[in-house]
Structure 1
């Protein structure tokens, strides 16, 4: 067995073979691309570790060199690019500047790269680097390829009436879905690249003249302050830029619906799209925005208002119902009607556990079943979760471990939790519910109140990019209530929310409108 000298630092063990592994991220120098194409090719191969998917194609006695990454480029566009270069060679292949070569290429969009870093970054995003002898720099021809998922219906935010298109993992496709809905030159897209290793493209979208400039600047400032190795999903960005980290309530909405993003931009909000994920971020938001659905604006105002109040009621049920049951049955049985009290007492007569432990056991069991249904294969997951809940619940009642009324309480609580349209808010309710159950089992209704009052104080103190989180209730704003608990008919909703957009508030009707082209 080969012995390793453990006294040596790890970074110098077997240096001859592992040197490239123990080094940090590729620090491609910002040196200008000069010299013959053969020298630049050597640099590319060394910088990318002689990867087998990096291809080098030489033409006309190495006067023309095309370097690209096979797994990131489109074969058809690459073939068209090579045809363009062959035509240039047959015509003489002489030009005095990079701009003349760029005008001769029709395969894709062309960008001029003057440094090695720019060239490598372009190749890693699906571009082919064209090197020409006697011409400084490189031409980056964008010919992106690779596997892409087609546009499908969103899986987490389904609607009965409304568009069936959802975002994909390709940010270019997502931007096209937004452009298709917002055909205005005032739509602005700010591009950023975040992540030392992933080099993830992040785009900030807003409508000039509607979104507040201070909010846009704050979003860009927080994005520019991110210093991390990788951004693999929008959740990374959300945690980096949120106002307060230690809170169960989300202060940024994530959505995979293009129509939701378009509607948010028209209200004056800002959207953040991240390459590699179908979930876009929308900010700033308020607490009540998490109970709205894009379908509310496609159905009639009366049914939309009714459904909004159903969601708010379900939120209260999912958060308070188990704790209220524990508090009343344990500390305040005199609050129940005599008939109901006798019925509950008869059911609980043979159960060995107190109400708090009984509720905890059922809630934790249901959380385990739900998590198992999510993680199992999609074909058997729903069946296992439903059958498991029914079988375990019935068996627990027959075994005398829990009462039948407790199964009803936990089941209705779980159903009410699913009514909340935003998964992030429903997850927050699940966490808060356990805390209130412990307080109810310890102090009764006084314990519940001692938990709700700090919770309300916390909600009032939160902000989302400078916007109070509990608007328009605290501080109270009557003019913005029209699109919170109820939704007025569209002809009556002639102004945008004042707490989000303070400029160009008139969206329809005969009121005065500001010119969005004004600076």
Structure 2
């Protein structure tokens, strides 16, 4: 009998949270105490919830709820509580009229159900409920610590703006508005995350971005059903086209000028509260080899630097595998004098070239990762000194050859020339299977690996845009910003992404030069 009674009690306790959740969707009651008790029960054991009873004009009962640390207390006292609690004789027919005449806060919203009330409190809004009213008011008086705007450490430039996005969504939104002072810049806000309720903004240029593209992006964001969004990287992984590809299909940046330039080309930008990294799509593989500084320097210099990046991209991917293939299978391809020197340096090495390359590459990647994770004051020193000391010691001990150390060092330097970390990470990942193919099949294995990579790149898309466009499929008029960086007076058209698009972004015939006609 006692056991049965205990079972009934426990089942009753288990049903309480579900009942409470159902009540959260109910409309507010005109019974103030009932509403207040329910809100306090939802925030039970939340020590930062502040509950304050007061009377409006000494007559009407009201309660104030807010979370400590998220509200501007001084402004709340001066602009809300003081005006409401002082004696006044005017009668107000509804809450709206009371707000308009007594509360000097610009951001005020009225709500009628408990769910909206809880959402506003959790977002840092002070909430006021009134006796006899089935509605409440939320005041935009949020205040919390924010990081100062600074230059992004991962995207530093010699010439260009030196401001970067921060973790506060409102500041990031304002930085975009400062760059584009037009009502054509549209921002659709939504909330993602069952518990985090993270504000997310989809920004695009009306009349430039294709309507179907924006609709697809909005649908992919809205179908995300997850407990919480802590960074834009989570959203990136949930909306991309090819999740198993090593190549990123969404560009991330901390720079407002980069985000603005892509908006003006017809792409969309996703801003996530709590993350300084915004998402840009659709993009192509060439987007990861372009730096913002390319567009602020003279076009001849920018073109030469871009060619240098393409060359070092190939070096980063292929140099270790070519070395392994030549040493293992194709020694006749190397000049005799050079081959004699390489053979002499490898004479005392106990490992084949394949094992030697894998050993050095893994060590170099470990040093790079250690440098990233250690404090900034010692991180760079550990990675550089570690590479020098370990490389020298390994050569002296006869574990690896000197040419292999040179190859791995050149490969590491080459990978640093890729401007985007996510693009460089993909190349670093593919370097290992290329080394394995070279060590087993020689140059034939390298060719098979390259063909596989190119076929894969030709099949993936970023929000419907071919990853290799405008080179494959070839669009001749749009290659002015791929292998070269054409001068600004020649970049008259925008890239053609999907569907209809606004083709021209500037007037033709703006090539500079001396004026004619005796002016």
- TM-score normalised over the length of structure 1: 0.92
The alpha carbon displacement at 1:500 in A equals 5.5
Q: Which residue of 2 aligns with 1:109?
A: 107
Task: Please say if residues 349 and 401 of structure 2, whose CA atoms lie closer than 8 Å, have aligned partners that are also in contact.
Answer: yes
Judged with a 3 Å threshold, the aligned counterparts in structure 2 of structure 1 residues 59 and 226 are, in CA distance, closer, same or farther, namely same
User: Mean alpha-carbon deviation: is it higher for 27-36 or for 300-309?
Assistant: 27-36
1:498 Cα shift?
1.9
State which of 91, 94, 98 in structure 2 corresponds to 1:97: 94
C-alpha displacement at 1:74, in angstroms? 2.0
Contact between 1:268 and 1:501, CA under 8 Å: does it hold in 2? no
Residue among 323, 346, 349 paired with 1:348: 346
Contact 1:54-1:70 within 8 A present in 2 as well: yes
Is the partner of 1:191 in helix, strand or coil? Answer: strand
Q: Which residue number corresponds to residue 31 of structure 1? A: 26
Summarize the alignment of residues 476-495 of structure 1 with structure 2, pairs less than 5 Å apart.
Answer: 476-495=474-493
User: How far 1:501 sits from its partner (Å)?
Assistant: 7.5
CA-to-partner distance for each residue in 1:80-138, whole Å, 9 max, x for gaps? 33345436x42237411121123132234001111100111111111111112233211
Deviation string for 1:383-428 (max 9, x for gaps)?
1111111110110011010011111110110111111011111110
How many correspondences in the alignment? 500
The answer to whether the Cα contact below 8 Å between 1:284 and 1:500 also exists between their aligned partners in 2 is no
Q: Give 1:72's aligned residue.
A: 70
Cα separation, 1, equivalents of 2:329 and 2:19: 62
- Kept in 2: contact 1:25–1:196 (CA 8 A): no
Once the 2 structures are TM-superposed, how far is the Cα of residue 21 of structure 1 from its aligned partner?
12
Q: What is the Cα deviation at residue 71 of structure 1?
A: 2.2
CA 1:58 to 1:189, structure 2 compared with 1: closer, same or farther past 3 Å?
same
Tell me: CA distance 1:26–1:439, structure 2 relative to 1, closer, same or farther (3 Å).
farther
**Partner residue of 2:253?**
255
Shift of 1:324: 0.5
What are the residue-to-residue correspondences of 1:162-173 with 2, within 5 Å? 162-173=160-171
Does the C-alpha gap of structure 1 residues 324 and 204 become closer, same or farther in structure 2, counting only changes over 3 Å? same
1:63 is displaced (CA, Å) by 1.2
**Corresponding position of 2:238:** 240
In the alignment, is the contact (CA less than 8 A) between 2:464 and 2:498 conserved in 1? no
The RMSD of aligned alpha carbons is 2.3
1:301-340 aligned at under 5 Å gives the runs: 301-340=299-338
Contact 2:317–2:430 (CA under 8 A) maintained in structure 1: yes
What is aligned with 1:274?
272
Return the match for 1:176 from 174, 177, 181. Answer: 174
Q: Structure 1, unaligned stretches of length 5 or more?
A: 1-11, 512-519
Unpaired segments of 5 or more residues in structure 2? Answer: 1-6, 510-519
Checking the alignment, whether the CA contact within 8 Å between 1:323 and 1:437 is kept in structure 2 is: yes
- Give 1:250 deviation, angstroms: 0.4
- Change beyond 3 A, Cα 1:45–1:142: same
In structure 2, the residue matched to 1:470 is 468
Partner SS for 2:203? strand
- In the superposition, relative to structure 1, how do residues 21 and 328 fare at CA in structure 2: closer, same or farther (>3 Å)? farther
| Deviation for aligned residue 1:23 | 7.4
SS state at 1:356 partner: helix
- Contact kept? 1:253, 1:290, Cα under 8 Å: yes
Whether the aligned pair in 2 keeps the contact of 1:273 and 1:279 (CA below 8 Å) is yes
Which of 293, 296, 299 is 2:297 aligned to?
299
Equivalent position of 2:229 in the other structure: 231
Which residue does the alignment assign to 2:207? 209
Using the size of structure 2 for normalisation, the TM-score is: 0.92
Distance across 1 between alignment mates of 2:21 and 2:300 = 59
Aligned CA distance change for structure 1 residues 178 and 17 (closer, same or farther; 3 Å): farther
CA–CA separation in structure 2 for the residues paired with 1:13 and 1:493: 75
SS at match of 2:318: helix
